[in-house]
Structure 1
Amino acid sequence: MHRHVADAAKEPDLIELRPGLVCLRFEIMKIYSALGAVRHLLDTGTVEPGDTLVDSSSGIYAHALALACHRYGLRCHIVGSTTVDRTLKVQLEILGATLEQMPPSENLGLDQNRRVRRIEEILRENPRYHWMRQYHDSVHYLGYHEVARQLGAMIPLGPLTIVGGVGTGASTGSIASYLREHDRDVELVGVQPFGSVTFGAEHTSDPEMIIAGIGSSIEFRNVRHACYDRLHWVSYGHATAGAVDLLRTSGVFAGLSAGASYLAALWERELDRDRTYVVIAADTGHRYVDAFAKHTTTEIGDLRPAKAASQDEIALPWTVMDWCRGEHTDARDCG
């Protein structure tokens, strides 16, 4: 029996999509991040029950942090994106969290910068508040060690390729690093939206949107670049096509980052059939239901990425680039 709903909601399901291709499906993956970070802060005396934790979120982390604070007796204040919907607002309110939502903006980059500036104002007004800094603090890696242990136990020994959204790096980076430290052969393939600065694609722009949660127009300082073997930049349209195909063929209703990761994993699987490919589905598809409703049938088997040797060659709608676990800007420098 679980002591709190957060412990139940975080548990993933491992679903076979095709031979050698599995989906690690979460309801709210970032609960691992929030619970691990909050436990560490309490254990080290950085915060105490009754203190207020504050952070910026486009939605999923807000829910995760509110649940973690509810579990451990802390207060929670969220500076939320314009994309936070009514369903989440109601849940945050009843959980005891307060939400300060930004007004509509021209783009998500402006929205993110505005949220960070507002948090800085709040901290000046309330110096006892603790900023969780999900975009910058490596404490968010700790909770995903549990995911790595579960994954290592669920999948038979053999080479793995993990494919998932980069985001802050805490999820995919932590899982891969932990398994590598325990002598598992693991490749890590990161998925990014166009316009994200994390791996140097800020000169590109997706006319639809930046896919929330996997990339940003602001720097995420807790991304460990040396974790990643290869990167895929996937457009909103291709990510939607992937998510729709994932639902149609497997019944898995997951978000657009999962759709992009699924698309990338299918291409990666063609390179080496001797590996097991794990697609990270970090959340459900509910907040992307409008994208699903507007879908058109696309044969994703016909979709192929362009290959880039440097960031200058990154272009819509889909680009792949070898990163070789290095922080270089030119893949040809790899050994």
Structure 2
Amino acid sequence: MPGTTFTFQEITEAQMLPRLIRLGPNLFGAVFMLMKLLPARYILRRASERGELGPDTTIVETTSGTFGLALAMQAALMQHELTLVSDPAIDANLYRRLTDLGARVEICPEPDPIGGYQAVRLRRLAEIRAERLDSFCPEQYSNPDNPASYGVVAEQLATALGQIDCVIGPVGSGGSMCGTVRGLREHTPQTRAVGVDTHRSVLFGQPDGHRLLRGLGNSLWPANLDHAVFDEVHWCTAAEAYSATRRLHARHALFQGPTSGAAYLAAEWYARSHPDQLCVVMLPDEGYRYQATVYDDAWLADNDYVLAERPKEPVETDRADRPAAHWSRLAWGRRRYEEVPGAVPRTTGLPSAATPSPKAER
């Protein structure tokens, strides 16, 4: 129309912030198309501003999930080469999309006895960086720009909803929950944080082991995970997360992935149990990668993921290393990791995320 001014954005900028959707009387969803676009774009742009990412610098990172996709999208727009170190858990559709975007994907076939695939991938990442004189690693697990990028989400939530009493969300690198909650607590220190993890993830004190639910949890302790941010922690199984994912779709028409389902499982219960609190649940990415799995009834049945009965509340536990075999909850109380009963001792001597190149040292 004459006189109308349009603002055009890159696709990563246009899609990085969530839509705010009402899910209940006191529960809102921060619904992302691809949450990792936010830290990927922020980290790369900040690195470019600091001179760490020159015109010929190769970007290298370890990932088996959506952070890799977000990096591939932003790297393609910025016309940078990208090498991703991953493992067999990466699905074929994601692999194809990454390579279509021009990324080189290297698969580490076997896990490490201590630290699993994460440790192996980090070692290979360090080797690649040592071979390349001009490289930059976003280091999503330790780069403070990861949680810092979520300051804009905290501002969005506060502006739209006012005082937020509780934020519930899945935890992997620690960036989204720690960054968002810290931003909110600058104005409302009482804002509570509920982290959602899965069994056999070390993040909140369980012994490391094989995890069926991907996209949250970890075999290593990310530096960006500030345990003192969290008021409580929930652990859930893959079957419980998948069931909640399908319920989120059937009830609210939100087609999200299983990490969103895990967060919704905890958030629906928390909001119902605290009707006087205004709650927000972080729903990280859409469900298109899971059409042949989580959204396929036959696949769920064949893999024994169909629940006989939907759990209505978590089992309470007072030790990090003794959660129930299904959905469970621990009052974390904003304590440091070492202060929580039963938290397994942290393993030392694990590889660093990356060896800095000469350019990165400047």
TM-score by length of 2: 0.83
- Residue equivalent to 1:175: 180
CA shift at 1:105, angstroms? 6.3
Which deviates more, 7-16 or 249-258?
7-16
> Does 2:296 correspond to 1:293?
yes
Corresponding residue to 2:76 among 70, 79, 87: 70
Where do residues 141-220 of structure 1 align in structure 2 (5 Å cutoff)?
A: 141-155=147-161, 157-183=162-188, 185-202=190-207, 209-220=211-222
- Residue equivalent to 2:34: 28
One-letter code of the match for 2:85? Answer: V
Corresponding residue to 1:117 among 96, 104, 123: 123
> Does 2:333 correspond to 1:330?
no
CA shift at 1:122, angstroms? 0.7
CA shift at 1:159, angstroms? 3.9
The answer as to whether partners of 2:260 and 2:283 remain within 8 angstroms in 1 is yes
CA shift at 1:128, angstroms? 2.4
The answer as to whether partners of 2:84 and 2:104 remain within 8 angstroms in 1 is yes
One-letter code of the match for 1:212? Answer: R
CA shift at 1:9, angstroms? 2.4
CA change 1:253–1:104 in 2 (3 A) is farther
CA change 1:124–1:7 in 2 (3 A) is same
Which deviates more, 89-98 or 216-225?
89-98
> Does 2:318 correspond to 1:309?
yes
d(CA) in 2 for partners of 1:276, 1:299: 28
CA change 1:181–1:26 in 2 (3 A) is same
Where do residues 101-116 of structure 1 align in structure 2 (5 Å cutoff)?
A: 101-103=107-109, 110-116=116-122
Tell me which structure has the larger Cα radius of gyration: 2
d(CA) in 1 for partners of 2:192, 2:116: 34
Q: Runs of 5+ in structure 2 lacking a partner?
A: 1-6, 301-305, 343-362
One-letter code of the match for 2:231? Answer: D
d(CA) in 2 for partners of 1:161, 1:299: 28
Report SS of the residue matched to 2:295: helix
Query: Per-residue displacement from partner, 1:185-244 (whole Å, max 9, x unpaired)?
Result: 4111000011111110126x56xx342231111222210111111100111111111111
- Residue equivalent to 2:25: 19
Structure 1 runs (4+) greater than 4 angstroms displaced: 104-109
* Aligned alpha-carbon RMSD (Å): 2.3
Aligned-pair identity (%): 29
One-letter code of the match for 1:193? Answer: T
CA change 1:271–1:6 in 2 (3 A) is same
Corresponding residue to 2:280 among 278, 281, 290: 278
d(CA) in 1 for partners of 2:46, 2:267: 33
| Larger RCO (CA within 8 A; separation ≥ 6) | 2
The answer as to whether partners of 2:201 and 2:219 remain within 8 angstroms in 1 is yes
CA shift at 1:30, angstroms? 0.5
The answer as to whether partners of 1:82 and 1:111 remain within 8 angstroms in 2 is no
The answer as to whether partners of 1:58 and 1:212 remain within 8 angstroms in 2 is no
d(CA) in 1 for partners of 2:54, 2:32: 29
Corresponding residue to 1:240 among 239, 242, 260: 242
CA change 1:95–1:159 in 2 (3 A) is closer
d(CA) in 1 for partners of 2:102, 2:44: 17
d(CA) in 2 for partners of 1:330, 1:125: 43
CA shift at 1:107, angstroms? 10
